[in-house]
Amino acid sequence: MMPALSMGELRGEMRYDEPLSRHTSWRVGGPARRFYQPADSADLVTFLAGLEPDEPLLWLGLGSNLLVRDAGFPGTVVAIQGRLNALTLQAPGIIRAEAGVACAKVARFAARAGLRGAEFLAGIPGTLGGALAMNAGAFGGEVWQKVLKVETVDRSGRFRERTARDYAVGYRQVTGPEGEWFIAGCLQLEAGDVEAAQVEIRRLLERRAATQPTSQPSCGSVFRNPPGNHAARLIEAAGLKGYAIGGARVSDKHANFIVNTGNASASDIEALIEYVQDEVQRTSGVRLITEVHSVGEAL
């Protein structure tokens, strides 16, 4: 049932106490107090404009790279996957994708359009919005290497168009104007061969399936690679492959993945992350930094 909110006529869907375990790739997480799926970008503007200024907000795509704690999120989740989903060839060599489009879909669209340079996106298990927010990467490519411009929205519902020069971009981190969220991005790609691009995507997906635990719930890579090293190598050297706390386990297939073996809680995963950090620091002197973003409250 639509809530009585002083924000005009909404066309999206509002849910209350929505279990976020249904919407995260780890399949854990307590409920969101409110969970809103906007009908489109115009509806999103109406929704944002009517929010209380101190309302906690969490933007949610495919729910990868995200750990929601067991007591849930005490605010409003804006779920954009499958909602902000426009994907177009805007000009020769330029693809515009809204933030809710899965990265793998962008890769396949670019290949069919005879463009190259986006194949690596097939290996990123999230939406373009999340990829823009953290400069996600796979197979040696990073999303901001391809960004021509982005579109953002702020808390009041105001749209802006920005170029890559407005952001400081590094390895798995992006710093830009505060209080704005990505709603679309334009990627500059090069002319290529359709068949060759599709073959490359299949090759990368086969490589991902062979080296990562794609059949088990995970968030993707848990830790950033330290300079000149690999997190998986350090974790394996610490003897932690297969180590488990509760239902959370360091993958036997790829040590930088923590999988939910079926009954993990968010607290199991968080405890395992901290244990891995402590053991790697003890054995190698390196303190691993997480890629995954933890939100919400513990029980």
Q: Under CATH, to which class is 13-79 assigned?
A: alpha beta
Residues 6+ apart with CB under 8 A from 42: none
In the chain, domain spans: 13-79, 87-211, 231-295
- DSSP letter at 296 equals S
Q: Exposure of 194 by Cβ count < 10 A (0-12 exposed, 13-18 middle, 19+ buried)?
A: middle
Q: Which pLDDT score is estimated for 2? A: 35
**What pTM was computed for the model?**
0.90
CB 152 within 8 A of CB 166: no
Is the pLDDT at 1 greater than 50? The verdict is no
For 192-210, how does the pLDDT look when each residue is reduced to its tens digit (9 = 90+)?
A: 999 999 999 999 999 999 9
CB 100 within 8 A of CB 81: yes
Q: What is the CATH number of domain 87-211?
A: 3.30.465.10
- DSSP letter at 51 equals S
Q: Exposure of 241 by Cβ count < 10 A (0-12 exposed, 13-18 middle, 19+ buried)?
A: middle
Question: How confident is the prediction for the chain on average, in pLDDT?
Answer: 94
Is the pLDDT at 8 greater than 90? The verdict is no
CB 270 within 8 A of CB 26: no
Is the pLDDT at 5 greater than 80? The verdict is no
Residue with tokens 């929704």: 47
Q: Which pLDDT score is estimated for 94? A: 97
Q: Which pLDDT score is estimated for 120? A: 96
Average pLDDT over residues 286-295: 96
Query: In the CATH hierarchy, which fold is given to the domain comprising 231-295?
Result: 3.90.78
For 99-125, how does the pLDDT look when each residue is reduced to its tens digit (9 = 90+)?
A: 999 999 999 999 999 999 999 999 999
Residue with tokens 């950033």: 224
C-alpha span between 251 and 213 (Å, rounded): 7
Residue with tokens 């890559």: 164
For 147-193, how does the pLDDT look when each residue is reduced to its tens digit (9 = 90+)?
A: 999 999 999 889 999 999 999 999 999 999 999 999 999 999 999 99
Catalytic residue numbers read: 172, 221, 291
DSSP 186-254: EEE-EE--HHHHHHHHHHHHHHHHHHS-TTS---S--BPPPTTS-HHHHHHHTT-TT-EETTEEE-SS-
Between residues 67 and 7, which one has the greater pLDDT?
67
Taking the CA of residue 244 as centre, how many other CA atoms within 13 Å lie in the half-sphere pointing to its CB? 14
